[in-house]
Amino acid sequence: MVKGMKKLAAVAVLFVFALTTVFAAEALPYDGKTVILHTNDVHGSIAGYANVAELRNEYEAQGADVILVDAGDFSQGTTYVSTSKGLDAITMMNAAGYDVVTLGNHEFDYGYAQLKDNLSKAEFQIVCADVFDENGETIYPANTVFTTDDLTIGFVGFETPEAQTKANPALIKGLRFAAGEELYTIAQENIDELKAEGVDLVIAIAHLGVDEESAPNRSTDLWANTTGFDFIIDGHSHTVMTEGANGEPIQSTGTAFANIGVIIIDNETKAIEGNFLQSVSHDEDGTTVYDIPHDIQVSGYAQEIMDRVNGEYNIVFAQSLVDLNGERDPGNRTEETNLGSLISDAIMWTILKDEGSLTVDDEYALSIVNGGGIRASIAKGSITKKDVNTVLPFGNTITVVYVTGTELLEALEASTYCTPTAIGGFPQVAGIEFTVDTTKPYDANAETYPASTYYGPASINRVTINNVNGLPFDENATYAVITNDFMAAGGDTYYAFASSTDKFDTGIPLDEAVMAYITDKLGGVVGEEYAEPFGRIHIVK
């Protein structure tokens, strides 16, 4: 009996060997291919990392060599990453198996020191060719080379120079961001270096975007002013595209894992065979249908983070009787909104509730919040701590800046220079009423503000301040502008605030100030008085 079983076992082994030999002889669909999967502007949507990990698994199972790439802005966007100052994003990217990434402007939101500490835990490579430290060295390697099955690919990373004013300038002192012609020169030098090393393809990982306001530092500008890039993986503008407006080989996935970018390369011919976007999910009869399954292990890591954060932040502390508008355009970057007014009211109340906290009379106090700092809406109903932290995720603190009326006018003129086109610096205000006449041209200086991509006004041509707290505006008066530390340091278009020598940071976080205002001043209810904007900002079109 034992001898018979041994014979059967031997036959079974031979049968399995034969099957293995047959299947081994059959080429898998992606044998001899390299597949680049790429993401951008994930902004804290950490559940999606399980989807990209599973897509990687599937391509590898079909024979492909896979390189997983991200084009920046992974550190901020939801409480799931902002509460750890971006570190939990690195944890998830390690779990998903990323290979190489570049930096987005929001990687600097918590400061350069925090960024370095976070990325010291990264199990992937970081490339960034256009950001330099005080010694003139790039803060991370400019490029790197990956080899897969006799195919070599050079990756070059690019950060938008807008980061120098889209992040808090006070937290990135000493860094220099290349722009314009210098950016193109750096790119060409890296292309030439990689070509000299004999790479087969050179691919840019660019957090540059294609928005008009980003010219001349867009991915399309990079393509037009260099020779030798085979492809550009793009981010920053949240654009969904598989090519540029003029057919440039540029691909971008949108934001928050709406899609995953796919680039197929033939290892033998060394040529890109195709590129497309793989949707992650879609709505069907009000139900989310996932187009890509999730990797169970990576999904488990994401769930642990979400459970931890939800346990701390999903606490209802107030109610809203109205929907509070946190949209971008039309919204907080183009016009007055009720949420912008609520936040501006909150920080002004926080300072003025303590008598004598300012060196000027209260009627000379006003507040300004940059519309780009408002990141989400709050729906009518219960308000949680998580809701407010999602709206204000940067950890900014209330700062008071003393400026002259002339400097205040400059700040408002600069921050509305392109209105009605959206701009992150668009002011949401309290204590002031002003008008922007968009039919008049913006009179820009010949040179940008220092360490900025924005041009200050040579003259005040578009903005008129109607009143401050009901009193006539005085160009010679000193006003206390209650704002945030980002704007006080010259963030966005607010160089006029950065140049002030009289300012102080209260250390009070914006989100805590808003919650205190709602509970203590409004009695825990955002009422009908916030149903519509107050008429503080008038746009003439």
β partners of residue 525: 319
| 140 in Cβ contact with 157 (< 8 Å) | yes
Residue among 454, 427, 425 at smallest CA distance from 214: 454
DSSP 151: E
Shared domain check, 202 and 114: yes
Shared domain check, 506 and 435: yes
Encoded tokens for 289? 């249908």
Shared domain check, 185 and 98: yes
Shared domain check, 150 and 125: yes
Shared domain check, 321 and 292: no
In a domain, 497, yes or no: yes
Number of domains in the chain: 2
Shared domain check, 338 and 241: no
In a domain, 380, yes or no: yes
DSSP 344: H
In a domain, 180, yes or no: yes
What tens-digit pLDDT sequence spans the chain (541 residues)?
Answer: 333 433 333 433 333 343 344 444 478 999 999 999 999 999 999 999 999 999 999 999 999 999 999 999 999 888 899 889 999 999 999 999 999 999 999 999 899 999 999 999 999 999 999 999 999 999 999 999 999 988 999 999 999 999 998 888 888 999 999 999 999 999 999 999 999 999 999 999 999 999 998 999 999 999 999 999 999 999 999 999 999 999 999 999 999 999 999 999 999 999 999 999 999 987 777 777 789 999 999 999 999 999 999 999 999 999 999 999 999 999 999 999 999 999 999 999 999 998 888 999 999 999 999 999 999 999 999 999 999 999 999 889 999 999 999 999 999 999 999 999 999 999 999 999 999 999 999 999 999 999 999 999 999 999 999 999 999 999 999 999 999 999 999 999 999 999 998 998 888 899 999 999 999 999 999 999 999 999 999 999 9
Residue 460: its pLDDT value, please? 97
Residue 357: its pLDDT value, please? 86
- What is the CATH number for 380? 3.90.780.10
Neighbours of 469 (CB within 10 A): 14
Shared domain check, 507 and 445: yes
In a domain, 512, yes or no: yes
Among candidate residues 275, 305, 335, the one where a domain is terminated: 305
Residue ranges making up the domain that contains 414: 316-540
In a domain, 283, yes or no: yes
Residue 378 three-state SS? strand
Residue 203 three-state SS? strand
Round to whole Å and give the CA distance between 348 and 206.
39
Among candidate residues 277, 305, 333, the one where a domain is terminated: 305
Where does 462-526 have alpha helices with state H?
Answer: 485-488, 495-498, 510-516
Tell how strand 201-207 and strand 231-234 pair up: parallel
Shared domain check, 395 and 260: no
Shared domain check, 189 and 142: yes
In a domain, 15, yes or no: no
Residue among 240, 269, 243, 251 at smallest CA distance from 204: 251
Shared domain check, 257 and 393: no
DSSP 398: E
Global pTM value: 0.82
Show Cβ contacts of residue 423 under 8 Å, excluding neighbours closer than 6 positions: 213, 333, 371, 372, 415, 416, 417, 492, 493
β partners of residue 320: 381, 526
In a domain, 372, yes or no: yes
| 374 in Cβ contact with 428 (< 8 Å) | yes
Shared domain check, 333 and 452: yes
Round to whole Å and give the CA distance between 86 and 273.
35
In a domain, 536, yes or no: yes
Among candidate residues 305, 331, 347, the one where a domain is terminated: 305
Residue 129, Cβ density class (10 Å: 0-12 exposed, 13-18 middle, ≥19 buried): buried
Round to whole Å and give the CA distance between 172 and 24.
54
Round to whole Å and give the CA distance between 12 and 26.
21
Residue 354: its pLDDT value, please? 85
- What is the CATH number for 256? 3.60.21.10
Shared domain check, 466 and 424: yes
